[in-house]
Amino acid sequence: MKLAYWMYAGPAHIGTLRVASSFKNVHAIMHAPLGDDYFNVMRSMLERERDFTPVTASIVDRHVLARGSQEKVVENITRKDKEESPDLILLTPTCTSSILQEDLQNFVNRASLESHCDVLLADVNHYRVNELQAADRTLEQVVRFYIEKSKKQNNLDLKKTKKPSANILGIFTLGFHNQHDCRELKRLLTDLGIEINEIIPEGGSVENLKNLTKAWFNIVPYREVGLMTAKFLEKDFNIPYIKTIPMGLVDTGNFILEIEKIFKNYNYFTNFDFKSYIDKQTRFISQAAWFSRSIDCQNLTGKKVVVFGDSTHAASITKILSREMGVRVSCCGTYCKNDSDWFREQVQNFCDEILITDDHTQVGNMITRIEPAAIFGTQMERHIGKRLDIPCGVISAPVHIQNFPLGYRPFLGYEGTNQIADLIYNSFTLGMEDHLLEIFGGHDTKEVITKSLSNDSNLNWTLEALSELNKIPGFVRGKIKRNTEKFARENSIYQITVEVMYAAKEAIGT
Amino acid sequence: MNKKNSEKLTFECETGNYHTFCPISCVAWLYQKIEDSFFLVIGTKTCGYFLQNALGVMIFAEPRYAMAELEESDISAQLNDYKELKRLCLQIKKDRNPSVIVWIGTCTTEIIKMDLEGMAPRLESEINIPIVVARANGLDYAFTQGEDTVLSAMAHRCPGKMIKKNDFEQNKKSENLFVQTFFEFTKKSLKFTPENSFKKDKNPDFLYKNHSNLVLFGSLPTTIATQLTLELKKQGIKVNGWLPSQRYDELPFLGENVYVCGVNPFLSRTATTLMRRRKCKLIGAPFPIGPDGTRAWIEKICSVFNILPKGLEDRENTIWKSLEDYLFLVRGKSVFFMGDNLLEISLARFLIRCGMIVYEIGIPYMDKRFQAAELSLLEKTCVFMNVPIPRIVEKPDNYNQIQRIRELKPDLAITGMAHANPLEARGINTKWSVEFTFAQIHGFTNARDILELVTRPLRRNKNLQELGWTDLVKEKI
């Protein structure tokens, strides 16, 4: 058992449902108790979805517990088949109902005999994988199923498209700025003279999955979802894929160069000059390169920041901060524990330390210890930042409704670099303003706050010491307080007087 | 379809494929209500994810609840439940030092048959903190019924032993003895020392009529609880306590001579526990939602205590008059309740009295005995307003309901968040039902708040109507 208040990645079935409901005309049925269909609320509220979320629950109640689901699941599948005539129905248990160990595969087999649509059971272990891993797995499962199916029907088209084309794998519902990223990628590919073959799962149709093999190569914009599918297509059909994430100027450039390489491997020669395209975009179209050169950005030099998020965004943002803006990343971390090797390799030379954990208290303590000038993280880090008075830019899921902006906010490609530069810069200026206010005695009515996330303090501050502490400018007050307490604890002092404060100052040298 | 509506109440039951919140969501309001409590939800990632998303920002405010997240080793019994729970509870004790830990059992603990009720007393004596066990799971209950399971578990912890027959006779003769036993049980509490209470109670004898003890049950925000208490005080009725109280160690005295009355329609299990296990006498009344409900609620309590209610009619009329600006908006408009929080009957009754037409009342679970008075008031209200009695659909089927909504085109659909945006996009005004659970809707004072909620989509959409963009999907429903 684990005492938990918050989690970064949701349970496995959420990943499966995200993939299923991203496809057009696919319906998911959850084998779950009442109230587990919370996914519908998330999709309807966060994405402000206009259509009914194609997810229903086959309710597990007392009767099911006593007698088993029997006909219920099969009836629910065939009923949905009649009502909505989807192309595919995907059945998934939740953590809870997977313990029942009912033979869901058997239900699926029976239901697929009676219904017009295809029926699949999401093949996911609910206790071993999280939302993102499950989404990756489910996407691959669906793709594999339809490619096998069309192999059997002998209508799998292995001929490549005439013009170079690419599939984009892993754009899906409730993804962090996925819709905008997708539009930006399309724009980039159009610039390079590449056609989009298929985009899955978002807006894709399962009937079109057999066309995947016509593409020249695959693009996996996010580490977390789509990689398994890309690997499958590479292994079985020899379709190369690009796993460089086109986020930030350097990596977007690398991404384009990889495309050039793929063209060469296909012996396809165009008179398009990739290098000068990258150069023009980097220096003149995107503002980010100029921006980091401008004197404004000089102020950011050596500022300490902390980055935390999914592996894609945390790694890319770390590289942008350190390589493209000259900001010092004190710690960079991810909650994607399953992909930690890749993550370490990516960020190794761009940060002081690496934290891989899915425990938000560890992240909170790390931030408290480092006291960065800004945080780039998820909604959780935003709230940690609020409590510590440190500005935070949100760069990764898990997210709120405010991270589903209506305006165009990609993170990928050249427009993405502009957006990221704005996000980073704005986080810092806000922080600077705040400090200036404090220095010039703005509205300093704040009480001394502990600024530590644990409440295990058993130290006593005398009145004089407290009033001395209040004289210290607000923005370093927390640090002095913590250092003093640390000193006191180390020396087993429980009563903090003015003397102790100065002794601590001398000992630590702050 | 609505033509079928008859003169008598009809109950239908559908498939139960409907959307509602998981009952564990009750921790959201209960941990705030019971200030010295800690809620430990023993479940899986699915439960945790639900809480995290449903409770939104509350998560970040160091709430007094947490998940005991079951891992694979717990499910396969490689770890010892008792030891694991002990470890977590000791940590909670160290970090937060609550006066009570409430274990919320979930579907998973049901399925793996974790004996929470058996472990709690043992652990309780070992760590010296009361542990209350409530099985608020989605296998058996819907949304607000979670509170019901917690309160019925808490009812067992209220002071006052089951009094024997002859003791009871004696008690009747001497109120003093009763007072003594009462303080014996609550002397632990600091706020409730006999001295304090006597001071407080010095005058009230003039204000209060002589009646048996009255305890109200149902969790309400403190201001609302005070409002209702004052409302009864005007009739000379003293409220001797609330279940739940503000603090765990202020739980009210219960016993054979105590009358109890519910304030929310979803508390049937608590009512049963109070009657059967604590031998209390239940006052079955309509619920104090809307001025009509509040008046009926007070009148019923008065009638039980043989008190002639005074000034209630005037009070109700004044409230109705003050609502006129809202009533003007809702009169003649139609409503469809999809059903997810068990407040539906009371709200429908109130809205019918406001002049609305209710097509359908969906409701997760209908306890006809506990809600008897409310149902008969609904019937009377329909006759009074001369409208057909709506159909009551228990365990509704959301898919079928959406077909009915498509046919009936109600002016307002009261529905969960899963359906609200899609219905809006199809030109149907919606109000999220969850808001009624969290808003203050009880008593005379708050009737305005209910109408504020109900009319909000109507007012908003009236402003947007002229633009002519009501239908925002390509295909029709």
Given a cut of 90, is residue B1 above it in pLDDT? no
Task: Yes or no: say if B163 and B256 are a contact pair by the CB < 8 Å rule.
Answer: yes
Output the CA angle A250-A255-A256, nearest 5 degrees: 100
Alpha-carbon gap: B144 to the closest alpha carbon of chain A (Å): 12
Distance, in Å, from the CA atom of A70 to the CA atom of A100, rounded to the nearest integer, reads: 13
Extract the annotated binding site of A for [4Fe-4S] cluster. Answer: 36
Output the CA angle A498-A500-A501, nearest 5 degrees: 65
Give the model's confidence band at B53: pLDDT under 50 very low, under 70 low, under 90 confident, else very high.
Answer: confident
Report the 3 state secondary structure along A248-316: CHHHHHHHHHHHHHHHHHCCCCCCCCHHHHHHHHHHHHCCHHHHHHCHHHHCCCCCEEEEEECHHHHHH
Distances (CA, A) of B345 to B188, B225, B351, B387, B452: 41, 21, 10, 15, 19
Counting one residue from A and one from B, how many pairs have CB atoms under 8 Å apart?
165
Given a cut of 50, is residue B170 above it in pLDDT? no
pLDDT digits (tens, 9 = 90+) for B210-232: 888 999 999 998 889 999 999 99
Least confident of A108-117, A501-510, B129-138, B209-218: A501-510
Given a cut of 90, is residue B195 above it in pLDDT? no
Q: For the residues B425-444, what does the mean pLDDT come to?
A: 91
Locate B472 and state its tokens. 């925002």
Instruction: Mention every residue, 6+ apart, whose C-beta is less than 8 A from residue A162.
Output: none
Among A157, A159, A167, A164, residue whose Cα is nearest residue A210: A157
Distance, in Å, from the CA atom of A509 to the CA atom of B288, rounded to the nearest integer, reads: 65
Does any CB of chain A come closer than 8 Å to the CB of residue B138? yes
The DSSP bridge pattern shows strands B37-43 and A495-496 to be: unpaired
Task: Yes or no: say if A21 and A43 are a contact pair by the CB < 8 Å rule.
Answer: yes
Distance, in Å, from the CA atom of A484 to the CA atom of B415, rounded to the nearest integer, reads: 55
Does any CB of chain A come closer than 8 Å to the CB of residue B162? no
Q: Tell me whether residue B319 is exposed, middle or buried, using C-beta atoms within 10 angstroms of its C-beta: 0 to 12, 13 to 18, 19 or more.
A: buried
Give the model's confidence band at B167: pLDDT under 50 very low, under 70 low, under 90 confident, else very high.
Answer: very low
Average pLDDT of chain B is: 86
Q: Do A50 and B418 make contact, defined as CB atoms within 8 angstroms? A: no
Given a cut of 50, is residue B185 above it in pLDDT? no
Distance, in Å, from the CA atom of A501 to the CA atom of A454, rounded to the nearest integer, reads: 21
Q: For the residues A392-408, what does the mean pLDDT come to?
A: 89
Q: Do A99 and B50 make contact, defined as CB atoms within 8 angstroms? A: no
Tell me the residue type at B389: I
Q: Structural domain boundaries of chain B?
A: 23-141, 214-305, 312-467
Give the model's confidence band at B55: pLDDT under 50 very low, under 70 low, under 90 confident, else very high.
Answer: confident
Residue ranges with strand state E in A85-184: 88-93, 118-121, 165-171
Find the radius of gyration of the CA atoms of chain B: 23
Helix ranges (H only) for B112-203 are: 116-127, 145-155, 165-173, 175-186, 194-201
Alpha-carbon gap: B470 to the closest alpha carbon of chain A (Å): 12
Does any CB of chain A come closer than 8 Å to the CB of residue B11? no
Q: Do B139 and A49 make contact, defined as CB atoms within 8 angstroms? A: no
Average pLDDT of chain A is: 89
Given a cut of 80, is residue B199 above it in pLDDT? no
Residues of A in contact with B45 (CB under 8 A): 7, 10-11, 95, 130
Extract the annotated binding site of A. Answer: 36, 431-432
Given a cut of 80, is residue A378 above it in pLDDT? yes
Class of domain B214-305: alpha beta
Q: What is the pLDDT of residue B219?
A: 95
Q: For the residues B45-67, what does the mean pLDDT come to?
A: 79
Q: What is the pLDDT of residue B173?
A: 43
Q: Do A99 and B108 make contact, defined as CB atoms within 8 angstroms? A: yes
Distance, in Å, from the CA atom of B100 to the CA atom of B91, rounded to the nearest integer, reads: 14
Does any CB of chain A come closer than 8 Å to the CB of residue B97? no
Among B150, B74, B71, B69, residue whose Cα is nearest residue B112: B74
Distance, in Å, from the CA atom of B416 to the CA atom of B341, rounded to the nearest integer, reads: 9
Q: What is the pLDDT of residue B165?
A: 44
Marked catalytic residue, from A236, A296, A352, A444: A296
Task: Yes or no: say if A82 and A110 are a contact pair by the CB < 8 Å rule.
Answer: no
Among A420, A418, A472, A414, residue whose Cα is nearest residue A446: A472
Residues of A in contact with B399 (CB under 8 A): 56, 83
Distance, in Å, from the CA atom of A91 to the CA atom of A84, rounded to the nearest integer, reads: 15
Give the model's confidence band at A299: pLDDT under 50 very low, under 70 low, under 90 confident, else very high.
Answer: confident
Of A1, A48, A83, the CB nearest to B84: A1
Distance, in Å, from the CA atom of B138 to the CA atom of B364, rounded to the nearest integer, reads: 12
Among B190, B186, B238, residue whose Cα is nearest residue B216: B238
* Cα A287–chain centre separation: 25
Residues of B in contact with A49 (CB under 8 A): 421-422
A293: left (phi over 0), alpha (psi -120 to 50) or beta: alpha
Distance, in Å, from the CA atom of B144 to the CA atom of B264, rounded to the nearest integer, reads: 10
Give the model's confidence band at A312: pLDDT under 50 very low, under 70 low, under 90 confident, else very high.
Answer: very high
CATH of the domain spanning A290-440: 3.40.50.1980
Residue with token string 């609305």 = B356
- Measured between its terminal Cα atoms, the distance across chain B in Å is 18
Class of domain B23-141: alpha beta
Residues of A in contact with B365 (CB under 8 A): none
Among B352, B348, B385, residue whose Cα is nearest residue B366: B348
pLDDT digits (tens, 9 = 90+) for B297-339: 999 999 999 999 999 999 999 999 999 999 999 999 999 999 9
CATH 3.20.20.80 fits A460-509, yes or no: no
Q: What is the pLDDT of residue A74?
A: 94
A492: left (phi over 0), alpha (psi -120 to 50) or beta: left
Residues of B in contact with A10 (CB under 8 A): 45, 49
Q: What is the pLDDT of residue B193?
A: 40
Does any CB of chain A come closer than 8 Å to the CB of residue B394? no
Q: Do A95 and B108 make contact, defined as CB atoms within 8 angstroms? A: yes
Distance, in Å, from the CA atom of A178 to the CA atom of A204, rounded to the nearest integer, reads: 14
| Residue A339: active-site member | no
Task: Yes or no: say if A243 and A223 are a contact pair by the CB < 8 Å rule.
Answer: yes
Name the β-bridge partners of A334.
A309, A356
pLDDT digits (tens, 9 = 90+) for B454-473: 999 988 887 777 777 777 77
Most confident of A103-107, A469-473, B75-79, B161-165: A103-107
Alpha-carbon gap: A186 to the closest alpha carbon of chain B (Å): 24
Name the β-bridge partners of A306.
A331, A375
Give the model's confidence band at B182: pLDDT under 50 very low, under 70 low, under 90 confident, else very high.
Answer: very low
Q: What is the pLDDT of residue B210?
A: 84
pLDDT digits (tens, 9 = 90+) for B114-150: 999 999 999 999 999 999 999 999 999 999 999 999 9
Among B164, B86, B71, B180, residue whose Cα is nearest residue B125: B86
Does any CB of chain A come closer than 8 Å to the CB of residue B415? no
User: Which architecture, in CATH terms, is A12-132?
Assistant: 3-Layer(aba) Sandwich (3.40)
Q: What is the pLDDT of residue B163?
A: 44
Least confident of A205-219, B4-18, B80-94: B4-18
Class of domain A165-276: alpha beta
Of A3, A33, A97, the CB nearest to B66: A3
Distance, in Å, from the CA atom of A6 to the CA atom of B53, rounded to the nearest integer, reads: 10
Given a cut of 80, is residue A99 above it in pLDDT? yes
Given a cut of 50, is residue A235 above it in pLDDT? yes
Least confident of A319-328, A335-344, B50-59, B201-210: B201-210
Q: Do B107 and A96 make contact, defined as CB atoms within 8 angstroms? A: yes
Distance, in Å, from the CA atom of B248 to the CA atom of B155, rounded to the nearest integer, reads: 11
Please state the CATH superfamily assignment of the domain spanning residues B312-467 in this structure.
Nitrogenase molybdenum iron protein domain (3.40.50.1980)
Half-sphere exposure in the Cβ direction for A154 (13 Å, CA): 0
Helix (H, G, I), strand (E, B) or coil at A64: helix
Chain B interface test: which of A96, A379, A392 (most B C-beta within 10 Å): A96
Distance, in Å, from the CA atom of A338 to the CA atom of A336, rounded to the nearest integer, reads: 5
Report CA torsion sign: B296, B297, B299, B303.
Answer: positive
Q: What is the pLDDT of residue A509?
A: 56
Chain A interface test: which of B15, B89, B92, B139 (most A C-beta within 10 Å): B139
Extract the annotated binding site of B for [4Fe-4S] cluster. Answer: 22, 47, 107
Give the model's confidence band at A465: pLDDT under 50 very low, under 70 low, under 90 confident, else very high.
Answer: confident
Q: Percentage of chain A with pLDDT > 90?
A: 64
Residues of A in contact with B472 (CB under 8 A): 50
Residue ranges with strand state E in A60-122: 88-93, 118-121
Give the model's confidence band at B58: pLDDT under 50 very low, under 70 low, under 90 confident, else very high.
Answer: low
Q: Percentage of chain B with pLDDT > 90?
A: 70
Q: What is the pLDDT of residue A447?
A: 46
Give the model's confidence band at A262: pLDDT under 50 very low, under 70 low, under 90 confident, else very high.
Answer: very high
Q: For the residues B427-445, what does the mean pLDDT come to?
A: 91
Query: What is the DSSP secondary structure assignment for residue A348, as one 8-state letter?
Result: G
The segment(s) of chain A belonging to CATH 1.10.8.550 are: 460-509
Q: For the residues B193-213, what does the mean pLDDT come to?
A: 59
Residues of A in contact with B418 (CB under 8 A): 37, 40-41, 44, 53
Q: Do B49 and A7 make contact, defined as CB atoms within 8 angstroms? A: yes
- ipTM for the complex shown: 0.85
Give the model's confidence band at A126: pLDDT under 50 very low, under 70 low, under 90 confident, else very high.
Answer: confident
The segment(s) of chain A belonging to CATH 3.40.50.1980 are: 12-132, 165-276, 290-440
Give the model's confidence band at A436: pLDDT under 50 very low, under 70 low, under 90 confident, else very high.
Answer: low
Q: Percentage of chain A with pLDDT > 70?
A: 93
Q: For the residues A311-331, what does the mean pLDDT come to?
A: 95
Q: For the residues A478-492, what does the mean pLDDT come to?
A: 82
Give the model's confidence band at B78: pLDDT under 50 very low, under 70 low, under 90 confident, else very high.
Answer: confident
Query: What is the DSSP secondary structure assignment for residue B99, as one 8-state letter?
Result: S
Neighbours of B83 (CB within 10 A): 10
> What is the H or E stretch that residue A356 is in?
strand A351-356
